């Protein structure tokens, strides 16, 4: 809780959050000023925000405050302006338009206008923090949970798009035929959120540069007939001229996209779209495939379980897409050159055929590769192997002969997970996946639990850890008697 003095209070962040904030440019210790209470000191939340100065905390009482609130000034790196709902206050909407604003412990709901949103990061909303809030869209059609103001100048703007923001430990739910979080700007971190129960939604749309989506749980993207939206876990596109490059998607659990794709990544001939890395994620029960026609997308150490069961093909597709006319009037073809699939687990993907269930690369592509993956059908059965042993990228893609081959991959057999049916993909001692991966230490170092991988890498998101030896603990009051003479 905050000290009830009017000035000069100091709050030290919890160690875990402080370390994360420090890692992305926030100070570990922040100084606080006055506490502005609503109601009490101010009758409305907007009035309190109008009065708040750097270091002040706007503290909301329990109940519904039926307001759409906008920041009017920013804080400083060491004196943020904080809006705190204490976990019991409800607001309709908040707009970040100034730097160093924190919104925490607020329940947002009640926006119904089509193409609106509960949280909006407007131009200038740099270093904003949204923490421990509930964003309940309430099944209002076309309303987003989190949205971003796009750049004035394409593809990335000139510094006006909200950047270096942190969205952490929130719950986003009940969106309908829209996007639950649409991210733009540079170096934003979206970490540890629970995003669930959306009808025909995109869990994420991702633009900007160098954004990080880590350790979120995305669950139950259900089918809505006639919604008009193209549902995915994540998508990007260049039709509006917005770039999307240099992102890392790590440690996320995506479970149950029942009527949509894993990804829809297309560039619309925009050269500033590409260079994405998916690492240490778990993807389960994704109805359709991951479609990619942008360059330099990498999948490292992920799990794909029961993906693309609806279409019955491969889990991942890398190809090319022709555009008659796109942003800027250009026409031509976008290619997924330079894509890689390494150290992943593909289990029971596609239909029952043994010729599908892993990945496909168009032979139009160059500089692509796939190896060190584990591939199996239901019951850990092997897939159909190419008798000519033609690997990915030799010389181009791998679409025409339709059978699997990797020089260092594993085809079927029990992978010895702790309990894959309960989605526990940790490796048991003796697993054939132990030590069979490619060392990618030049890209990242840890597994999904944060354990540092050594020189020998395992396949999948979990690095094997040998069980600790049992330590014999003597019972209480046990006396050890020396032997007699």
pLDDT of residue 56: 98
5 part of a folded domain: no
Tokens 């970490």 -> residue: 191
Q: Does the residue 97 lie in any domain?
A: yes
Q: What angle (nearest 5°) sits at the alpha carbon of residue 252, between those of residues 231 and 437?
A: 115
Radius of gyration, alpha carbons of the chain: 25
329: nearest Cα among 273, 268, 272, 274: 268
Whether the predicted pLDDT of 474 surpasses 60: no
Cβ atoms within 10 Å of 468's Cβ, excluding its own: 6
Residues 168 and 94: their CA atoms lie apart, in Å, by 16
d(CA 386, CA 4): 71
CATH of the domain at 385: 2.160.20
Task: Say if 6 falls within a structural domain.
Answer: no
At a CB cut-off of 8 Å and minimum separation 6, what does 257 contact? 203, 218, 221, 231, 232, 233, 285, 286, 287, 288
Picking from 202, 227, 230, 215, the residue whose alpha carbon sits closest to that of residue 146 is 202
Q: Which H or E element spans position 46? A: helix 45-51
Report residue 151 as tokens.
Answer: 């750049």
31 falls within a domain: yes
Confidence of residue 468 (pLDDT cuts 50, 70, 90): confident
Give the C-alpha separation, 121 to 103, whole Å.
12
Q: Are strands 129-131 and 81-96 parallel, antiparallel or unpaired?
A: unpaired
Does 8 reside within a domain?
Answer: no
Structural domain span for residue 162: 18-427
Chain position carrying tokens 């990619």: 292
Helices (H), 65-118: none
pLDDT tens digit sequence for 169-222: 999 999 999 999 999 999 999 999 999 999 999 999 999 999 999 999 999 999
Number of structural domains, the chain? 1
What are the tokens at 31?
């100084």
Whole-model pTM: value is 0.92
pLDDT at 390: 84
pLDDT > 90 in the chain, percent: 83
Task: Please say if the pLDDT value at position 2 is more than 50.
Answer: no
Distance of CA 24 to the CA centre of its chain: 17
pLDDT greater than 90 at residue 273: yes
- In 3D space, the residue among 318, 203, 215, 333 whose CA is nearest the CA of residue 268 turns out to be 333
Does residue 220 fall inside a structural domain?
yes
- State how far the Cα of 401 lies from the Cα of 355, in Å rounded to an integer: 10
Contacts of 390-394 spanning 24+ positions with Cβ under 8 A: 392/341, 392/359, 392/361, 392/368, 393/361, 393/367, 393/368, 393/369
Residue 398 within any structural domain of the chain: yes
pLDDT at 12 over 80: no
Tokens describing residue 356: 């599908």
Q: Give the span between the Cα atoms of 425 and 283, in whole angstroms.
A: 12
């Amino acid at each position: 809780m905050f000290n009830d003095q009017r000035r000069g209070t100091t709050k030290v962040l919890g160690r875990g959050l402080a370390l994360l904030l420090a890692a992305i440019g926030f100070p570990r210790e922040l100084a606080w000023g006055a506490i502005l209470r609503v109601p009490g000191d101010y009758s409305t939340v907007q009035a309190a925000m109008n009065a708040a100065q750097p270091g002040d905390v706007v503290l909301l009482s329990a109940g519904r405050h039926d307001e759409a609130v906008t920041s009017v000034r920013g804080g400083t790196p060491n004196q943020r302006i904080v809006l705190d709902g204490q976990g019991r206050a409800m607001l309709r909407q908040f707009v970040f338009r100034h730097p160093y604003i924190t919104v925490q412990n607020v329940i947002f709901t009640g926006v119904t206008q089509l193409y609106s949103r509960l949280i909006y990061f407007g131009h200038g909303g740099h270093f904003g923090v949204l923490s421990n809030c509930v964003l309940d869209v309430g099944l209002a059609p076309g309303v987003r949970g989190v949205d971003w103001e796009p750049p004035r100048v394409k593809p990335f703007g000139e510094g006006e798009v909200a950047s270096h923001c942190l969205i952490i430990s929130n719950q986003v739910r009940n969106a309908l035929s829209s996007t639950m979080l649409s991210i733009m700007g540079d170096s934003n971190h979206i970490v540890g959120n629970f995003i669930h129960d959306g009808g025909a939604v995109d869990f994420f749309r991702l633009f900007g540069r160098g954004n990080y989506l880590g350790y979120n749980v995305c669950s139950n993207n259900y089918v809505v007939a006639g919604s008009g939206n193209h549902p995915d876990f994540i998508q990007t596109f260049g039709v509006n001229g917005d770039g999307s490059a240099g992102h890392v998607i790590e440690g996320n659990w995506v479970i149950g996209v029942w009527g949509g794709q894993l990804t829809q990544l297309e560039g619309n001939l925009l050269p500033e779209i590409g260079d994405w890395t998916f690492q240490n994620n778990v993807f389960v029960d994704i109805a359709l495939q991951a479609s990619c026609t942008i360059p330099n997308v990498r999948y490292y150490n992920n799990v794909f379980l029961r993906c693309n069961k609806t279409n019955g093909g491969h889990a991942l597709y890398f190809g090319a897409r022709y555009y008659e006319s796109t942003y800027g009037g250009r026409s031509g073809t976008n290619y997924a050159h330079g894509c890689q699939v390494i150290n992943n687990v593909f289990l029971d993907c596609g239909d029952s055929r043994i010729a599908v269930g892993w990945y496909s690369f168009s032979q139009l592509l160059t500089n692509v590769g796939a190896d060190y993956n584990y591939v199996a059908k239901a019951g850990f059965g092997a897939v159909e192997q190419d008798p000519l042993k033609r690997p990915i990228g030799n010389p181009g893609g791998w679409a025409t002969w339709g059978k699997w081959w990797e020089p260092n991959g594993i085809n079927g057999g029990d992978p010895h997970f702790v309990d894959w049916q309960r989605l526990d993909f940790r490796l048991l001692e003796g697993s054939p996946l132990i030590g069979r991966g490619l060392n990618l230490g030049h890209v990242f170092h840890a597994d999904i639990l944060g354990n540092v991988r050594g020189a020998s890498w395992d396949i999948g998101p979990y690095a094997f850890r040998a069980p600790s030896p049992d330590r014999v603990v003597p019972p209480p009051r046990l006396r050890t008697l020396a032997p007699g003479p």
